[in-house]
Amino acid sequence: MLDFNWYKELAKPWLSPPSWVFTPVWTILYIMIFSALAVYLVKYRWMDKSHGIMWFAVQMLLNIIWTPVFFGLKNIGLALVIVLLLDYTVFRTIRSFYDVSAVAGRLLLPYFVWILFATYLTAGMFFLN
């Protein structure tokens, strides 16, 4: 079970946004993420896109498992490892997508910036708690 009350009690790093910010930001980011995937998949149908699809799938898996690790297991250390891996896989996804479509790659840039910010927040909570 996810425990969002636990999060409220954590010491947070400077620049931590209020909790209400996360829902609209993630809604917009998911629209951009899946728009990037759609653009990537339809561009140059004859191209082999398996490499980009693999990076996309791995980063989405890491994205999905971060929440239950952080809020369910309350394991900030493991969540930090996951978000660091997510940084790398999102970067690789952007590179792969950009090779096929600059638009698809650019659509992922706000997500990458947000994930880097999430890394800062997770690391901050790890060291402060």
pLDDT confidence of residue 114: 98
99-128 pLDDT per residue, tens: 999 999 999 999 999 999 999 999 999 999
Residue type, 96: S
* 125, 10 Cβ separation under 8 angstroms: yes
What is the C-alpha to C-alpha distance for residues 81 and 125, in angstroms, rounded to an integer? Answer: 13
Q: Look at residue 47 in the predicted model and tell me its pLDDT.
A: 79
pLDDT along the chain (129 residues), means of 10: 86 95 97 98 86 97 97 97 98 97 98 98 98
Model-level pTM?
0.94
Nearest C-alpha neighbor of 99 from the set 38, 51, 32, 30: 51
Residue 4 has a pLDDT of 82
